Amino acid sequence: MIVGLTGGIGSGKSEVSRRFENLGIDVIDADVIAREVVGVDKPALKEIAEHFGQQILNVDETLNRSKLRELIFNDQSEKEWLEKLLHPIVRTETIAQLEHSKSAYQILSSPLLLETNQYELVDRILIVDADESLQISRAMTRDTNKPEQIKKIMATQMSRAERRSKADDIIENHGDLKNLDMQVEQLHNFYMDLIEK
């Protein structure tokens, strides 16, 4: 069984992923894969540099993520170009990692699970939800982004209501970490029961 884990920026997906990993569950993280496929010497990074020019690279030849983010969030056609390049590469690597997983069930963590066709890879959809003001303050703390930048990112993501409507399971991440631990534990037990039936 593969559980697709998603949620808006700053909702707490990473905290939830960590807790499932602590319970012995393999978490395949599409964000991590997306960073790996644009590593130095990777074909995708070469294509990005050819398309956007050398200024998209840092001095050490790594991708300048903040510059790229700025470019694609201010130009829809550039965002579409990048997605067309990266989404198939990320999907192929994601499937490979899922196939090599050995835990009782797997979690596919992806911020774009529902916005792309990644949801086709999963059996259940788990949403981590938090109210928007909480999302903004968490994302500001974590990424040192300005609120306007975070709101732009949020505007490109599915709305909370729509995301929630597609969920099989929801973790309400408005409380403390003890509450989060309890919700993950309950879901883990529920998933284990499901796969044993």
| All domains in the chain, ordered by first residue | 2-196 (3.40.50.300)
- How high does pLDDT run on average in the chain? 90
> DSSP 3-state assignment of 187?
helix
Q: What pLDDT, on the 0 to 100 scale, is given for residue 150?
A: 72
List the one residue out of 102, 89, 113, 123 whose CA is nearest residue 13. Answer: 113
List the one residue out of 164, 156, 169, 72 whose CA is nearest residue 115. Answer: 156
pLDDT tens-digit readout, 144-168: 667 777 777 767 777 888 999 999 9
pLDDT tens-digit readout, 2-53: 999 999 877 889 899 999 999 999 999 998 999 999 999 899 999 999 999 9
**What is the average per-residue pLDDT within 115-121?**
89
Phi-psi category of residue 169: left, alpha or beta, with phi > 0 → left and psi -120 to 50 → alpha: beta
The answer to which of 4-8, 93-97, 133-137 has the lowest mean pLDDT is: 133-137
Q: What pLDDT, on the 0 to 100 scale, is given for residue 136?
A: 67
CB-based burial label for 12 (10 Å; 0-12, 13-18, 19+): buried
User: Could you count the other beta carbons within 10 Å of the beta carbon of residue 81?
Assistant: 16
3-state SS of 72-103? HHCCHHHHHHHHHHHHHHHHHHHHHHHHHCCC
Complete DSSP assignment for 21-52:
HHTT-EEEEHHHHHHHTTSTT-HHHHHHHHHH
Does the reported pTM lie above 0.95?
Answer: no
On whether the CB atoms of residues 111 and 31 are closer than 8 A, the answer is: yes
